[in-house]
Amino acid sequence: MGKPTGFMDYKREVSKDVKPKERIKNFNEFHEHLPKARQQLQGARCMECGVPFCQAGMDICGMTSGCPLHNLVPEWNDLVYTGNWKQAYNRLKKTNSFPEFTSRVCPALCEAACTCGLNGEPVATKENEFAIIENAYEQGYADPKPPKVRTGKKVAVVGSGPAGLAVADQLNKRGHSVTVFERSDRVGGLLMYGIPNMKLEKQIVDRKVKVMEAEGVSFVTGTDVGKDVKAEKLLKEFDKVVLACGASNPRDISAPGRDAKGIYFAVDFLKANTKSLLDSNFEDGSFINTKDKNVVIIGGGDTGNDCVGTSIRHGCKSVTQIEMMPKAPDTRAENNPWPEWPKICKTDYGQEEAIALFGHDPRIYESTVKEFVKDKNGNLKAVKIVKLSWEKNPDTGRMEMKEVPGSEQTLPAEIVLIAAGFLGSQKYVTDAFKVELNQRTNVNTAPGQYETNVKNVFTAGDMHRGQSLVVWAIREGREAARAVDESLMGYTNLAAQ
């Protein structure tokens, strides 16, 4: 350990954000990162504690504590401090296929479980990770490294989100020939069209895809497997097929007036926005424009926040976010001790921007939509909401949400965005491959396994585990690649984590 007292000698320091009223003028990333010398001091804060929960990635009370990839956090934090950037990159890449993505969009499970955070501020691990990978691209450490030997085996990966890319990256490194099929016009899946540009600029995705292409991975875009290409064709032409199509069925809201014009799923809103931005800088008009509109977003979480930030950048008149759950506490409750994931109220970038622009937090808690109000032409003009309270059912003993009588409220709304989560994989894909589903409509496998009930067909990512984080998708992809490799070769030397 380079600096045993580093966590006492140096305060946590992270990148500065461009001020909300300035950053909403564009769709660019808005973090001003530390210079290298100051970033190295942040590496000194890592305690190299006896039990590094940061890399545990274990389940505690139904929540993940620490990194699911089991990143070697203490090792590369120390290497950052000592200025050994190339070795830091090598240790980081040993477990993480895409630190350029996770260092931007991961909620930093590692930091939430950091021992320093027990009685102070955690190590700035996420920003150390960002510094490592960006330095690696600058110095050429991350340049393409094609495999020297090919196995002659062919694998098709359906879906180019983080799970599909992780599968492809690992299997290609092993020497298998990998072809990735993507139904959209660009590679990246969730990374390209599900995450707004201000969180992950798309040249970052393209940069990694070009590296993978130079290493031998083939990408086929604009091809919808199950529609444009039959499952039988893939199973005939490839030795193995991996389904990594995500959990892309959005959960709907059932309420009177749902057929009003102006109600959209958040995933469609965000995809159209990013595609129009990339295609024409919005000149084609092929996006859902919220300019001068009252916007109501149904659902919290990252997707709801992304809708807030996107709506504000288009110049919405107002934005309101409806959440069914009560507001989380501002600090850890006694029944939520470290190293559990902290169930505290998070004000994300979109909400920060709404507060700066409109003077108040856009979120209304413990509420749900009771009715969508239409005008005479069928256009949405308002949303009726009602407050909810939690009450115990005397028959089952379970807590249930009940409407609070007389608490109805009408909000003006010309646009509603539904960000209520996802229900699982899309039926036409699973039907095409005849794979079994579980009760949550995710592709079913044996516990801890990735091979489906159909011979030579594997699955990974949200399609397998349900809607989750990018870091979990990467872990699933790496573990599925290991399973595929073992199935092809009889053994594997791929590191799953």
The answer, yes or no, to whether residue 85 has pLDDT greater than 90, is yes
Domain 6-139 shares a fold with domain 154-248+428-489: no
DSSP string covering 327-384: PPPSS--TTS-TTS--------HHHHHHHHHHSS--EE-SEEEEEEEE-TTSBEEEEE
Check: CB of residue 197 under 8 Å from CB of residue 191: no
463 — pLDDT class (breaks 50, 70, 90)? very high
Is the torsion defined by CA of 314, 320, 326, 331 positive or negative? positive
203 phi, psi to nearest 5 deg: -70, -20
Beta-carbon count within 10 A of 86 CB? 14
Dist. CA 234–CA 238, nearest whole Å? 6
In the block, which residue shows the tokens 């295609």? 279
Domain boundaries, the chain: 6-139, 154-248+428-489, 263-418
Dist. CA 240–CA 457, nearest whole Å? 6
Q: Omega into 339 within 30° of 0, i.e. cis?
A: yes
The answer, yes or no, to whether residue 378 has pLDDT greater than 80, is yes
Check: CB of residue 56 under 8 Å from CB of residue 65: yes
CATH class of segment(s) 263-418: alpha beta
447 — pLDDT class (breaks 50, 70, 90)? very high
206 — pLDDT class (breaks 50, 70, 90)? very high
CA distances from 429 to 214, 224, 228, 249, 336 (A): 29, 9, 11, 12, 40
- Which residues are within 8 A (CB) of 391 and not within 5 positions of it... i.e. 6 or more apart? 399, 400, 401, 402
Q: State mean pLDDT over 141-153.
A: 98
The answer, yes or no, to whether residue 496 has pLDDT greater than 60, is no
How would you class 219 by CB atoms within 10 Å of its CB: exposed for 0-12, middle for 13-18, buried for 19 or more?
buried
The answer, yes or no, to whether residue 166 has pLDDT greater than 90, is yes
Write out pLDDT tens, residues 387-443. 999 888 888 889 888 999 999 999 999 999 999 999 888 999 999 999 999 998 999
DSSP string covering 380-430: EEEEEEEEEEEEE-TTT--EEEEE-TT--EEEE-SEEEE---B--S-HHHH
Please give the angle made by the CA atoms of 323, 324 and 329, to the nearest 5 degrees.
Answer: 75
356 phi, psi to nearest 5 deg: -65, -35
10 phi, psi to nearest 5 deg: -125, 140
Q: Convert 100-110 to b/e letters by CB count within 10 Å (16 or more is b).
A: bbbbbbbbbbb
Q: Rg (Cα) of the chain, in Å, rounded?
A: 23
Write out pLDDT tens, residues 480-494. 999 999 999 999 999
Whole-number pLDDT of residue 16: 97
Dist. CA 6–CA 421, nearest whole Å? 41
The answer, yes or no, to whether residue 50 has pLDDT greater than 90, is no
Note the pTM of the prediction, 2 decimals: 0.96
- Which residues are within 8 A (CB) of 56 and not within 5 positions of it... i.e. 6 or more apart? 65, 66, 67, 70, 113, 339
Q: Which helix (DSSP H) or strand (DSSP E) does residue 297 occupy?
A: strand 294-298
CA dihedral in degrees (178, 179, 185, 188; nearest 10)?
-20
Whole-number pLDDT of residue 4: 86
Write out pLDDT tens, residues 254-285. 999 999 999 999 999 999 999 999 999 999 99
Write out pLDDT tens, residues 279-319. 999 999 999 999 999 999 999 889 999 999 999 999 999 99
Q: State mean pLDDT over 368-390.
A: 97
The answer, yes or no, to whether residue 248 has pLDDT greater than 90, is no
Q: Can you name the CATH fold of 6-139?
A: Fumarate Reductase Iron-sulfur Protein; Chain B, domain 2 (1.10.1060)
CATH number corresponding to 154-248+428-489: 3.50.50.60
Mean pLDDT lowest among 241-245, 249-253, 318-322: 249-253
